[in-house]
Structure 1
């Protein structure tokens, strides 16, 4: 049985596969779409992270395919509809990178509150901008969490530890779960209007694509801070860029983008009050071991 490991996962995970006597494990990291298409023809299983796209074309070519495993949460790089039609199971590892992504979100929140990045860069350049780099405090601020699943819930717990007021919009959130997490369940417009901080933890679907757009920013307070470590495209990038430049948004932090890698000439790269990371949400040793094993 051929197992195609298209993206790099934990070595322990690959070793576990190799220990199965009926498995032929093929590692194909960094392969082109054309190479993946050829390698998938006789594969019984394909394992991916977020780099490799399992398209309808790949699924049609892979006549022996039984399962596609996503080492991570989002499955937007897999054509789930085509897989379902072909009788191919799509699996993910939803809890594997929960803590890593929640902690990165809080890192962005802290760096968007205190100008740590600018201060650190300035120190390397010989500057001493003590008076210029004033920040704020998290305590007493309202955090709006869009999506209170595993990651959103972990972010909410950490926000409560910082004595923030937490409100949440999630169409699937029950009152009982909100009470358990000590958060207030609200509608999306209320979340936009009340937030001092807003963080996105929803999957990208037709309903959530572009959800945080010009109209959403218009509802927000002046000086709001916005963060996205979920999926690119939920926040409309052009709307965020304009909101940052106008001062509507005081600071923002992003780990995900509509196009990845982020183009070298993207307007985000020139906006000073925007901290960018290259999709590091699951990039911890613990998370890699968890999603790959």
Structure 2
């Protein structure tokens, strides 16, 4: 049984779970670098594997790639949702797709990262750190969060966790999502408003929505341009929620106070991406789901899924 473990950037997969429990016949290959972008090269890299363990949505599995992988029988995604996998094509080809649940603490980790971005932007941490290392002292005026307005787009588990911190800092909390009610907003410590009001009145906006057909591009050019001149925009959810061209434009023109981004249309973010040239954006390499606890849960769940499939009793099937 040939097993591929993709996107092991931090080289932690082998130690995070007991892969040896799968037996001596399990041959494991670890991919520490992203797969080639070219379709032919990507298919060649994955050829011959019976089992592939994919890290979230880093590597898409569309029908045309799957057709080039005739040996594939089991595709595991860390997490229990992956919009990058063509589930129907997998089913048609006889490829079982199983999820590998992560840690229950993962929502807190993502909310923590969102707040690291918010605090970093309001306190100018990246710029002041660079200045201190260069020998300077006090180069920019930090801002106070107390009394400001936090706009939460998506008041699920992650949004509620982020809202609770804002409340602790003495902020007013506004919330919007397509199906949010006044009662659910109040239970989450927020006041429900429409998206136009949220973008126009918030001092900082934090995105916590699931990407779907109805939410794709929700942070539109019109909404981004309606933000306050000193407001900040933070996205630790999915890049597809945002009109990235419009976001780049408002940042380049200094029409808003800044942005904190953990998610991007192409990941890893290309070395020459235009966002890297901006001095008013705080960038992190999709760390929202990255923690030792989450990776241990992911990979232990993956081992369990492979063992269950090999034993003829699959678990956590998604297709």
Q: C-alpha separation between the residues in 1 aligned to 2:213 and 2:159?
A: 20
1:275, distance to aligned residue in structure 2 (A):
0.9
Instruction: Give a deviation string over 1:202-251, Cα, whole Å, max 9, x none.
Output: 23333323221211123322221101111123222221122123332101
> CA separation of 1:182/1:84 partners in 2, compared to 1, >3 Å: closer, same or farther?
farther
SS at match of 2:136: coil
- After superposition, what is the alpha-carbon deviation per residue over 1:61-87, rounded to whole angstroms, capped at 9, x for unaligned? 556756533224762332234335556
Question: What 5-or-longer segments of structure 2 have no aligned partner?
Answer: 37-41, 301-319
1:62–1:242 CA distance, 2 compared to 1 (3 A): closer
Q: Describe the SS at the equivalent of 2:288.
A: coil
More divergent stretch after superposition (235-244 vs 223-232): 235-244
Q: What is the TM-score when the length of structure 1 is the normalising length?
A: 0.85
Query: Is 1:169 aligned to residue 176 of structure 2?
Result: yes
Q: How do 1:1-293 residues align onto structure 2 when only pairs under 5 Å count?
A: 3-8=3-8, 10-15=13-18, 17-21=19-23, 24=26, 26-29=28-31, 30=33, 32=36, 33-40=42-49, 43=50, 45-49=51-55, 50-61=57-68, 67-72=74-79, 75-83=82-90, 85-86=92-93, 88-91=96-99, 93=101, 95=104, 97-128=106-137, 130=138, 132-293=139-300
Moved more, 90-99 or 112-121: 90-99
Q: Whole-Å Cα distance in 1 between the matches of residues 75 and 182 of structure 2?
A: 35
SS in 2 for 1:69: strand
State the TM-score, normalized to the length of structure 2. 0.78
Return the alpha-carbon distance in structure 2 between the equivalents of residues 275 and 258 of structure 1: 16
Aligned counterparts of 2:29 and 2:172: Cα–Cα separation in 1: 46
- 3-state SS of 1:258 partner: coil
**Using a 3 Å threshold, how does the CA distance of structure 1 residues 36 and 91 change in structure 2: closer, same or farther?**
farther
How far, CA to CA, are the matches of 2:192 and 2:25 in structure 1?
A: 48
Task: Say how many residue pairs are matched.
Answer: 287
* In 1, Cα distance between equivalents of 2:30 and 2:60: 13
Cα distance 1:234–1:23, how it changes in 2: closer, same or farther (>3 A)?
A: farther
Q: Offset of 1:104 from its aligned partner?
A: 0.9
Asked if structure 2 preserves the Cα contact closer than 8 Å seen for 1:72 and 1:97, the reply is no
Tell me the secondary structure at the aligned position of residue 91 of structure 1: strand
- Structure 1 position 3, deviation (Å): 4.5
Q: For CA contacts below 8 A with separation 6 or more, give which structure has more relative contact order.
A: 2
* Shift, 1:277, TM fit: 1.3
Gaps of 5+ in 1: none
